[in-house]
Amino acid sequence: MAERDLRTVSTATNPDIDAAGFTVDSAVSSIAIAAPATPAGKPEGFSVVGKSTPKVNAFAAVTGAAIFADDVVLPRMLHGKLLRSTKPHARLIKVDCSRALELPGVVAVATGADIPVRYGILPSSPDETVLAYDTVRYVGDPIAAVVADDELTAEEALDLIDVTYEPLPSIMTIDAALRDDLPQIHANPRRTNNVHKEVHLEFGDMGAGFADADRIFEDEYFFEGNTHAPMEEHSVVAAFGADSKLTIWASTQTPHYLHRIAAQVLEMPASRIRVIAPPVGGGFGGKTEPFAHELAAAYLSCKTGRPVKITLTRQEVFYAHRGRHPVKMRIKTGVKRDGTITACHLQTWLDGGAYGSYGVATTYYTGALSTVTYKIPAYKFDGCRVFTNKPPCGPKRGHGTTQPRFAFECHLDAIADALGIDAAEYRKRIAVDPHSTTVNGLRITSCGLRECIDAAAMRTDYAAKRARKQKGKGIGIAASTYLCGAGLPIYWNEMPHSGAIVKVDRGGGVTVYCGTSECGQGSEHMLAAIVAETLGIDVMDVRVCSGDTDLTPVDLGSYSSRVTFMAGNAARQAAARVRSQIADVAAAKLGIAVDRVGFALRRVFDVDKPENAINFLEAAQATEAKLGTIAGVGSYAPPPGIAGDFKGSGVGPSPAYSYSACVAEVDVDLETGAVTVEKITLAHDVGRAINPDSVEGQIEGGVYMGLGEALMEEQIFRAGEHKIPNLLDYKTPTILDMPPVESIIIETDDAEGPFGAKEAGQGPLNPVIPAIANAVADAIGARVYSTPVTPEKVLKALDAASGGVLRLRKPAPPATPREPVAP
């Protein structure tokens, strides 16, 4: 190994760093602002972190070797199918499976009464059973499960189950759910309507805030529901053994929560259940809670003593849903003449679908992060989630913050326009400051929001393009923030949010065990990189064992963008404990003080005299000889004191927040209303990029998903049924719809993040939708107040702006052109 390499890593690894520690450059990479390369406690500098290398699990992915849940095949395995409701809302009078059981090849069936335990991902809304037993609440609600020798037989058996329904009126809109004269989807004696959750919060002096304002702006917006549509259809294999132990392989982002709820529903000790999360073929929040097919497969495996596989069809994936809530929003903001916000009142109405899911949290999230982006000294939030007879809504990438972010960023553009302030400049003026506390008690630490806005605006020549005012061409900006992990677990407990074990074997190989679920976000590589960096070995020297409740310490799951921050910190602590054992022994061997021991490039060396070195293998063996088996454990829990002190303060706090700014450039065809996005530029404050390629990948994926939500994706219903439960009619962007994306990485080196890292999985999606909407408004001189921004809505907006004379033959509506909003 070359001495030169050692010296390179023993000083700053990043040539772009100037004397001040920061520099803006970037011909070479997407990192526009780089954090210092020699972090505290790491005198040898970085040798792994900050380098784009192929992900450790990329090789299995490109050879077809990765085993997803539906690829698991076991001897004597049965295949299961779910019978689903064909009625949006009905009482179940009778479910008769006798004819199905007579079909040759059918082995067992289950109905609601067999597994009656009520559960819910949030302990506050346990409103689901595995299979409906008295009421069905949406078309697609599971009623019965059949297992047979093969899938075809199971499917045939579904036709032989006789269901008698007594139809009830179906409630398909927010307005209908607020009415007092319709049946309740879930019986609730404390209410007369179908409201699931109401939240009312107020911070600061609202009266004084609005009284102080020079201008008050009020807007109404609607965000249409949409769904994750991961490419992998959900799948589960459950195997109950002769030892009375149950193993479940499931495409889940949250193996720990499936473990807990399977124990609860099957009334089995959790110690007898093992949940394994194989690689997940895309989640985006859609696989973060236990599903009927998973629990039914587990039950039927216990009942038959044979392994059971259930894989959903694409149509069933649309029914399983738990996706983006449709949300109506009303915002009222008071501002000074210079744009300073004096008070803000946000009201949201969420269409929750048939069950609670994460909906209580979603309701809070529609209000919780408003104050983390811009300074709002007085803030009032009223949220209301209702039940409707549609597939349940839940968390989708951006969980509950995406909808109000769309509304607020459009609203800000309107304010900036009215005050004659440039929209980018305006956002910088009111941006939150690093190391500050919001009016609702949220702690902000590192914050690169202004840097993101500057970078995105500079790179696109935003100011000049915004000034051109050429009909049909538009440019728009929006900014956002996101959590780096929810500050509280979803069920109350005082244990860590994430744990890791790092073990070194005699061959110098290192394994990290952590309960994370890899769903494409790069968690395996992140864990390997953090351990490799700490121990100074190559990332490919680290094997990752993840998502297995028998083998790995708990990680709460791949949601709320928590994995890098929380599992990364746990892995870093575990690896640091191993490092310190090896450093003690190596220091004696090298004849130096322990604080001079550095680890890099598979060597353990004197940082002041790098040629005084032993290799990692030798150091590990000497350590095992002296201290015994080498392993370290680590755990992470968020620090105390990051939340306010009020009911509902549990949603919103996070150990850190990421920041993003997006500039969209669009071309609008004024004849057809078609929007073509020509370019998206997105700057993201990720804290530190552990693998810059992976960060770019998350930005590009977020841009893609935001583009789909902005222009085409919508989960819509007709006569009680999902209108388009297939991938042809549910439009998602194809490769031909994708504009060029420029990713700009901003590093703010978060003091508590692992090596300074924050998150990139969700944050970059949020500003994309309003940036596109703002660009369209710039292009046509009128605004579309709802998503998706379809050609039809663009033409309507143009028509309304022209007073109805421009386009539509029929007279345009005289009053407000906007969607009606619930009371």
Partner 1 sequence: MSVAPPKVLLAMHVNGADVECAFSPSKTLLEVVREDLGLTGTKHGCEMGHCGACTVLVDGVPVLSCLELAVEAEGREVTTVEGLARGAEMHPVQAAFAECGAAQCGYCTPGFLMSAAALLDGADGRTLTQPEIAEALAGNLCRCTGYTKIIEAVALANGRMAEQSRG
Query: Binds 67, which of partner 1, ligand FES, none (CB < 5 to 8 A, cut-off by type)?
Result: partner 1
User: Please, which residue, 65 or 594, has the CB nearer to partner 1?
Assistant: 65
Q: Which does 55 bind (CB under 5 to 8 A by kind): partner 1, ligand FES, none?
A: partner 1
Q: Which two tokens stand for residue 328?
A: 């109506």
Q: Which residues contact 726 (CB under 8 A, 6 or more apart)?
A: 314, 315, 318
Nearest to 398 by CA among 346, 361, 448, 446: 361
Angstrom distances, CA of residue 513 to CA of 154, 549, 567, 574, 668: 38, 10, 10, 10, 51
Residue 313 structure tokens: 């069809």
Nearer to partner 1, 282 or 441 (CB): 282
Partner whose binding site includes residue 735, from partner 1, ligand FES, none (CB under 5 to 8 Å by kind): partner 1
Of 146 and 229, which has the nearer Cβ to ligand FES? 229
**Count of all residues that appear for the chain in the document:** 823
In angstroms, rounded to a whole number, what is the distance separating the alpha carbons of residues 741 and 682?
8
Between 23 and 732, CB nearer to ligand FES = 732
Residues binding ligand FES: number (CB under 6 A): 3
- Helix runs in 332-478, H state only: 359-368, 402-419, 423-430, 449-460, 462-467
- Residues 480-519 binding ligand FES (CB under 6 A) are none
Residue among 280 and 320 whose Cβ is closer to ligand FES: 280
- Write out the two tokens for 48: 């792994």
Nearest approach in angstroms of CB 385 to partner 1 is 26
Residue 806 contact, options partner 1, ligand FES, none, Cβ 5-8 Å cut-off depending on partner type: none
State the pairing for strand pair 603-606/597-600. antiparallel
Residues contributing to the site for partner 1 (CB under 8 A): 52, 54-55, 57-68, 70-71, 73, 103-105, 148-150, 152-153, 156, 228-233, 279-284, 313-314, 519-522, 693-694, 696-697, 700-705, 726-728, 732, 734-736, 738, 740-741
Cβ proximity to ligand FES: between 57 and 787 the closer is 57
Residue 380, phi then psi, degrees to nearest 5: -125, 135
Residue 278 CB, nearest distance to ligand FES (Å)? Answer: 14
Kindly state the smallest distance separating residue 60's Cβ from partner 1, in Å.
7
Nearest distance, CB of residue 727 and partner 1, angstroms:
4
From the CB of 394, what's the least distance to partner 1, in Å? 17
Among 1, 113, 231, 627, binds ligand FES (CB under 6 A): 231
- To partner 1, the closest distance from the beta carbon of 73 in angstroms equals 7
What residues form DSSP beta bridges with 605?
598, 613
Q: How many CA atoms lie within 13 A of 134 on its CB side?
A: 7
Choose the contact partner of 624 out of ligand FES, partner 1, none; CB within 5 to 8 A by kind.
none
Give me the numbers of helices (H) and strands (E) for the chain, helices first please: 20, 31
Contact partner at residue 262 from partner 1, ligand FES, none, CB < 5 to 8 Å by partner kind: none
CA distance 707 to 730: 14
Told to check if 286 binds ligand FES by CB under 6 A, we report: no
Q: Residue 324 gets which letter from DSSP? A: B
Compute the radius of gyration of the chain from its Cα atoms: 27
User: Shortest gap between Cβ of 698 and ligand FES (angstroms)?
Assistant: 12
520 part of the interface to ligand FES, by CB under 6 A: yes
CB of 397 to ligand FES, least distance (A): 13
Residue 438, binding choice from ligand FES, partner 1, none, Cβ under 5 to 8 Å by partner class: none
Minimum distance from CB of 282 to ligand FES (Å)? 5
Residue with tokens 């998503």: 787
Closest to 169 measured CA to CA, from 144, 137, 205: 137
d(CA 616, CA 620): 6
Helix (H, G, I), strand (E, B) or coil at 571: helix
Tell whether residue 282 is a contact of ligand FES (CB under 6 A). Answer: yes
Q: Least distance from C-beta 518 to ligand FES, angstroms?
A: 11
* 747 φψ region: left (φ > 0), alpha (ψ -120 to 50), beta (else): beta
Residue among 532, 541, 385, 408 at smallest CA distance from 478? 408
Q: How far is the CB of 703 from ligand FES (least distance, A)?
A: 15
Locate all alpha helices (DSSP H) within 272-343, ordered by sequence. 292-304, 314-320
Q: Which one of ligand FES, partner 1, none is in contact with 678 (Cβ closer than 5 to 8 A by kind)?
A: none
Alpha-carbon distance 225 to 396, whole Å?
10
Which of ligand FES, partner 1, none does 105 bind, CB closer than 5 to 8 A by kind? partner 1
Instruction: DSSP letter for 410, please.
Output: H
Distance CA 512, CA 531 (A): 8
| Closest CB 662 distance from partner 1, rounded Å | 13
Pick the closer one to partner 1 by CB: 416 or 662: 662
Partner from ligand FES, partner 1, none binding residue 104, C-beta < 5-8 Å depending on class: partner 1
Spatial CA neighbour of 278 closest among 60, 68, 552: 68
Residues forming a β-bridge with 636:
498
User: Which option in partner 1, ligand FES, none does residue 269 bind, with CB closer than 5 to 8 A by kind?
Assistant: none
CA angle 766, 769, 773 (to 5 degrees): 145
60 binding partner (options partner 1, ligand FES, none; Cβ < 5 to 8 Å by kind) = partner 1
DSSP state of 34: P
Which residue, 156 or 624, is less far from partner 1 as judged by CB? 156
Positions that interact with ligand FES (CB under 6 A): 231, 282, 520
